[in-house]
Structure 1
Amino acid sequence: MSKSEQINPRCLKRDPYPLWLFFGFVFIWGWLAFEPHYRSDWLLENILVFIAVPVLGWIWYWGNISRLAWSCIFLFLVFHEIGSHYTYSEVPYDLWWQKLFGFSLDQSLGFERNQYDRWVHFLYGLLILPLVAELMERLFPLDSCLRWLIPVMIIMSHSSLYELIEWLSVEVFGDELGQAYLGAQGDIWDAQKDMALALMGALIACVVCFMKRQFAKP
């Protein structure tokens, strides 16, 4: 059999489902890229997306990632794009809530600031960890605590790195653009709270993934 006729075994592992999610994300991305509230902030927010999408494509090429993990990635990217369209500190989620349910979510919970950025930091830990855990399973195939500890540590390191990037953006781009990207809204503990929420989301996802694996055992 010639090389052109040989089948790459990895091709058999590629699920078309992530491709449909990708096309759906491209549509949503294009829609939200149209006239964002603050174009410069939108560009800054999307630098990480431009880096992440090729990496995710490479991961898809190598296969063996569950549809659950891909769905989580898709949801996180959609929430991120909503934040980049409005800027995170100005997403009118409370107005949407009031139109749907007739009362203010922020007032009911006693929030004094826009909480959308906090919500997305929590979702980062919750929705990104399944993919990280599945990748780590390849490196630690045995039932080791490292399989669960390292994904949580990776989420925390990413969260810390992102907070450093936000700080540098203020130093490099100045008050208006830097503050829009930072989104602290006057909270001096914003970075610590964001990292804590990412950790909380990662721990919840870690427990869910562990329980799912235990129930899946024969």
Structure 2
Amino acid sequence: MAFTTAASSERTPFAANRFLWLLTGLFLAYWTYGWFNNHNMENWIIENLLVMILLPAMVFTHRGHRLSDLSYLLIFMFVMLHCYGAFYAYTTNAFGEWLKERYDLWRNPYDRIVHFSFGLLIAYPAREILLNRFKVSGKAAWLLPIEIAFSLGTIFEMIEWGVAELTTPATGETYVATQGDVWDAHKDIALAALGAAIAMVVVSLAKRLSARKAIGRPTLAPSAALNKSSIGKVRLESVQ
């Protein structure tokens, strides 16, 4: 079973895709562990509401549009980062607390890391959907993932505001995780857009490097066969 990317022409069905089964198993194991061992159940439930809505939606739409293995891996990485943040609550996350003490920071930076990672890890799946599902132009597919990350980051900040208004002040502060920064929402949105922009630059450089390597390969493979339907012409099989 080959590891697929956005450029791959085929997708392995979930039932036969051992890689997706592995990712699903790891997520369910950690999510279940977090359910029973998290440090703040009320915050954990609120943080996981979107996860419990979006992941089943991905499962139900899998038959209609399968993403590549690489896209599912990137989504998995972001969801795991988010679940780790929810396990402690973002304001008291253990890794963020270590960074705070190690580098003498004035706030726990874990929420910043996850907002940046959202753009960085979601941009590639967004580009794949735009190209393969909606057939947008190649140029637009480089810019739109950045705009999507910016827009979704803004929507999420509005959701945080709504939660803060509907819950107690302590719960709202824990969930929103401003930690005294009046520009927290602006910085989070900007980091998501920055992460997506970096992702698109990395993908662009990777594609150019791959194209240069392809140019250096021999044009005619030893196993190339003659196409009997057209005498004298050679049919070459290329792998994308």
TM-score if structure 1 supplies the norm length? 0.83
Determine what percentage of the aligned residue pairs are the same residue: 33
Give deviations 1:20-69, integer Å, cap 9, x for gaps: 20111000111111132111111110011011112222453345522222
* Structure 2 residue identity aligned to 1:178: G
State which of 44, 47, 63 in structure 1 corresponds to 2:46: 44
**How do 1:64-143 and structure 2 match up within 5 A?**
64-93=66-95, 105-107=99-101, 109-138=103-132, 139-140=134-135, 142-143=137-138
Shift of 1:108: 5.1
Contact 1:79 1:120 in 2 (8 A): yes
Structure in which a larger fraction of residues adopt helix: 1
Shift of 1:123: 0.5
Number of residue equivalences: 200
Matches of 1:106 and 1:42, distance apart in 2: 22
SS in 2 for 1:111: coil
Higher relative contact order (CA 8 A, sep 6+): 1
Q: Name 1:176's counterpart in structure 2.
A: 170
* 2:212 is the alignment partner of 1:213: no
**How do 1:180-199 and structure 2 match up within 5 A?**
180-199=174-193
Residues 12 and 123 from structure 1, CA distance in 2 versus in 1: closer, same or farther, beyond 3 angstroms? closer
Matches of 1:57 and 1:190, distance apart in 2: 33
SS in 1 for 2:63: helix
Q: Name 1:14's counterpart in structure 2.
A: 13
Please, which runs of 5 or more residues in structure 1 have no aligned partner? 1-10, 98-104
Please, which runs of 5 or more residues in structure 2 have no aligned partner? 1-9, 215-240
Q: Pairwise CA RMSD of aligned residues?
A: 2.1
